[in-house]
Amino acid sequence: MTLVSKLGIYGGTFDPIHNGHLILAREAREQLQLDRLIFVPAAASPHKLERAATSAAVRLEMLRAGVEGESGFEVNDVELRRSPPSFTVDTIEDVRRSNPQSEVFYLVGADNLPRLQTWHRFHDLQKLVQFVVLARGAEPIDDCYTTIRRLIDVSATDIRNRVATGRSIRYLVPAAVEEIIQRQQLYKEPAKSHPKN
């Protein structure tokens, strides 16, 4: 990674990447004036171990397809190359080594706020990044972090359920991502209910 002044990191399972992720990412990039926003897919989220994620290779393919051609958006597979589970602090330390002078913003979904302080080495992580909350609903956010809010009723769980029940996901995911889902025959089983992701 090259040296930049303001760098955003957006971690998650991205199973699949959808337009809600992308809209909020673009909004964060513009509001925070980020030079780059890097999507980092997790090998296995320590907080989502109850459901087997789609293979890392396919999630990475969907993520790359979803951000292709988007100015300022990149994908980094650093967590997929490490042994799971994926700890955000390890990723941020890697980023910091490559970009020692950068101001690093870590984008986190509002659904992660209740357990944020339980993250591995949270106090170290707090010193390395500025947390930015991405809120897709109208619920009040009681926190001390910058919040990026857009009312977007799209979730990966809903997308997986729509595919499993034969309903359309057009306009919910980029067309290139929908093509991969169809080609790979993904999400044929209904997804369990989880917070928005």
Q: For position 43, what pLDDT does the model report?
A: 85
Find out whether 61 and 32 touch, Cβ atoms under 8 Å: no
How far is it, in rounded angstroms, from Cα 131 to Cα 147? 9
Strand order in the sheet with 73-75: 73-75, 36-41, 6-12, 103-109, 130-135, 146-149
Helix axes 56-67, 19-32, angle to 10 degrees: 60
Provide CB contacts within 8 A for 7, sequence distance 6+. Answer: 34, 35, 36, 37, 38, 95, 99, 102, 103, 104, 105
CA angle 165, 166, 170 (to 5 degrees): 120
Q: Is residue 194 assigned to a domain? A: no
Per DSSP, what are the bridge partners of residue 82? none
Q: Supply the DSSP symbol for 101.
A: T
- What's the domain count of the chain? 1
Residue 55, pLDDT score: 94
**DSSP 8-state symbol, 170:** B
Confirm whether 44 is domain-assigned: yes
- What is the domain-level CATH number for residue 31? 3.40.50.620
Q: What pLDDT sits at residue 49?
A: 54
Q: Domain of residue 129: give its range.
A: 6-152
Tens digits of pLDDT across the chain (197 residues):
454 589 999 999 999 999 999 999 999 999 999 999 999 999 875 555 556 779 999 999 999 999 999 999 999 999 999 987 779 999 999 999 988 989 999 999 998 999 999 999 999 999 999 999 999 988 888 778 999 999 999 999 999 999 999 999 999 999 999 999 999 999 998 766 555 56
Does residue 163 lie within any of the structural domains?
no
Which residues touch 148 (CB under 8 Å, ≥6 apart)?
24, 27, 28, 31, 32, 107, 132, 133, 134, 135
Residue with token string 């595919």? 163
Helical segments of the chain, H only: 19-32, 56-67, 88-98, 122-128, 156-164, 175-184
In a domain, 176, yes or no: no
Is residue 178 within 8 Å of residue 169, measured between CB atoms? yes
Position 28 in a domain? yes
Q: How far apart are CA 107 and CA 12, in angstroms?
A: 10
- Helix, strand or coil for residue 33? coil
